[in-house]
Amino acid sequence: MAKKIWQRWFAREYSVQYCEIAIRTLGPRASNIFSFDLEDGILFVPENNNAVCYMDKSAKKTFIDTCVNKFGSDMASLRKFIDIFDSLGKRYIEISKSINDSDLKKKTNSELKRLYLNYQDVAIEYSLIGPFVAFVLAEYWFEKMEPTVKDLDQDIRAALFRPIRLNSVVTLNEKASKIDVNDKAAVKTLWDEYRWLSCLDIHKVPWSLKDMREFIKKAEPIKPQKYVFLEALKLSGLEDKKEMFEMIRELAFIRDARDDYRRKGIFFASKLFDEIAMRAGITHKLVAYLTEVEIVDFLDGEMIVDLSVLEERKKGFLLYADKGDMICKGGNVATYLKGQGRGVLERAVGWKCRGGCSGRVTGTVKIVRTVHDIIKVEDGDVLVATVTHPDYIIAMRRAVAIVTDEGGALSHAAIVSREMGIPCVVGTGTATRALKNGDMVSVDANRGIVRKLKRLI
């Protein structure tokens, strides 16, 4: 059998818990959506406190082609996808809320196991159709339309790619900009409505009231956009491609809405993992580094995994499926991969920059690899990250510009920066490796160029 060629896809602050769900989305537990089994064609490896997803070149092509053929050929197929997306997203929230409303302490370990496995099955189905398929469709249509719009005015491009509706982060910003930070009741009301926003995975904690107050202090009304969609379509002479751009705008909204369902689901289900942690005598965060089998074995009466193993996984882990079994390893991942003959990991090279939001600025680089780094970002800094997500919104508010390794015109960084008027360059490929904290850079988001500057003193 030929060795797999592993292509880097994305990097996130995921724990073992969510990485396993991501892998299982491509296997038989989501077969009612797609009939293929590509579980062994995806793996996660550690890098800079992130879990980096690699996918075998052949499996990735199969997955992308299947997504596009089933849901991305025209507006009618996209509508079918949106219906499934909303249905599974709502089901995920309902299951999670039912867990939150349950008296878990009265349940036996066997009952808790059934509840956990039910949650896992729903999370797997939703994670396929939401995070994965939505991501593929958005990238596909952006790449398809990019040559058509690459020479257009930035404001016209922004209008053509603007989400059909405001996402949660931008809506929160609008609401926050109208609140007096000293109005405790108003701050708490907004906090109650949005504190789930930081729940990327079960090892992440909800926003605190302090987090919300910090956000409100920086919130400003959305700047008026120069063009509305139909006006931009006419000015660009692309009226004949209206349906395609409408699809892109729908997908641009779903790119963030998919995380709304997931984060709310994780937020409401956290009570389940609290209970498992309490019974196992470990912290909530450590539960996130157990595999599904390890949790089930514990609830069936087996000993919990040694704490030293979980602490090692917190530092970084390799995760992949092998004939249905989930393999999780900490420690020297590179040596283990080589010994197992798992193939070659291809690294992204070069800078493939795209302007997310126009503007030219200079500032000091602050590298944000995880949510713990956002405290480093001060007013006027250039935030440099692998990718941004709602956890970074407070730091994005302080930044004078945003630069990311990943992403395109429909990425979180590009969409939020356009709405907030922050210059942004996405898709650099290597910014977090080529730059370091303290570097002075110029960011020309009009042309998608980031330059390192020499300091005079």
**Of the residues 299, 329, 346, the one at which a domain ends:** 346
Same domain, 342 and 360: no
Same domain, 69 and 202: no
Which pLDDT does position 349 carry in this prediction?
38
Which pLDDT does position 22 carry in this prediction?
95
Same domain, 336 and 384: no
Same domain, 296 and 365: no
Which pLDDT does position 225 carry in this prediction?
82
Which pLDDT does position 348 carry in this prediction?
43
Three-class secondary structure assignment of 92-141:
HHHHHHHHHCCCHHHCCHHHHHHHHHHHHHHHHHHHHHHHHHHHHHHHHH
pLDDT digits (tens, 9 = 90+) for 6-51: 888 888 889 999 999 999 999 999 999 998 899 999 999 998 888 9
Which pLDDT does position 281 carry in this prediction?
95
Same domain, 138 and 277: yes
DSSP H/E element including 253 = helix 242-280
Please, are residues 341 and 361 in contact by the beta-carbon 8 Å criterion?
A: no
Domain-embedded: residue 234: no
Mean per-residue pLDDT of the chain: 88
Q: Which residue(s) pair with 346 in the sheet?
A: 7
Domain range for 31: 5-149+247-346
Which pLDDT does position 146 carry in this prediction?
79
Higher pLDDT, 60 or 166: 60
Please, are residues 191 and 207 in contact by the beta-carbon 8 Å criterion?
A: yes
Domain-embedded: residue 237: no
Domain-embedded: residue 108: yes
Residue 394: pLDDT over 50: yes
**Of the residues 320, 346, 372, the one at which a domain ends:** 346
Give the SS3 label for residue 396. Answer: helix
Percent of the residues in the chain that have a pLDDT greater than 70, as a whole number: 93
For the chain, what is the domain count? 3
Same domain, 49 and 185: no
Same domain, 145 and 37: yes
Assign 454 a pLDDT band (cuts: 50, 70, 90): low
pLDDT digits (tens, 9 = 90+) for 227-240: 999 999 999 999 99
Same domain, 376 and 401: yes
Q: How far apart are CA 15 and CA 304, in angstroms?
A: 18
Assign 338 a pLDDT band (cuts: 50, 70, 90): low
Integer distance in angstroms from the first to the last C-alpha of the chain? 58
Please, are residues 407 and 431 in contact by the beta-carbon 8 Å criterion?
A: no
Domain-embedded: residue 93: yes
**Model's pTM, two decimal places?**
0.86
Q: Which residue(s) pair with 444 in the sheet?
A: 360, 449
Which pLDDT does position 158 carry in this prediction?
84
Residues 6+ apart with CB under 8 A from 38: 26, 27, 59, 62, 63
Smallest CA-to-CA distance from 27 within 134, 140, 120 is with 120
CB atoms within 10 A of CB 40: 18
Same domain, 49 and 75: yes
Q: How far apart are CA 19 and CA 291, in angstroms?
A: 9
Which pLDDT does position 392 carry in this prediction?
84
Please, are residues 14 and 201 in contact by the beta-carbon 8 Å criterion?
A: yes
Domain-embedded: residue 128: yes
Which pLDDT does position 342 carry in this prediction?
56
Q: How far apart are CA 89 and CA 453, in angstroms?
A: 46
Smallest CA-to-CA distance from 371 within 124, 253, 200 is with 200
Residue 294: pLDDT over 80: yes
Domain-embedded: residue 232: no
Q: How far apart are CA 259 and CA 21, in angstroms?
A: 15
Helix axes 75-100, 57-71, angle to 10 degrees: 100
Tokens 């390893």 locate to 329
Same domain, 218 and 276: no
Higher pLDDT, 330 or 340: 330
Q: How far apart are CA 423 and CA 45, in angstroms?
A: 31
Domain-embedded: residue 336: yes
| Mean pLDDT in residue range 218-228 | 83
Same domain, 35 and 138: yes
Instruction: Identify which of 285-294, 357-366, 376-385, 408-417 has the greatest average pLDDT.
Output: 285-294
Which pLDDT does position 257 carry in this prediction?
86
pLDDT digits (tens, 9 = 90+) for 339-357: 555 555 555 433 445 666 6
Domain-embedded: residue 239: no
Check which CATH number belongs to the domain holding 373 and give it.
Answer: 3.50.30.10
Please, are residues 187 and 212 in contact by the beta-carbon 8 Å criterion?
A: yes
Cα 248 from chain centroid (whole Å): 18
**Of the residues 346, 366, 399, the one at which a domain ends:** 346
Same domain, 301 and 180: no
Please, are residues 352 and 421 in contact by the beta-carbon 8 Å criterion?
A: no
Which pLDDT does position 40 carry in this prediction?
92
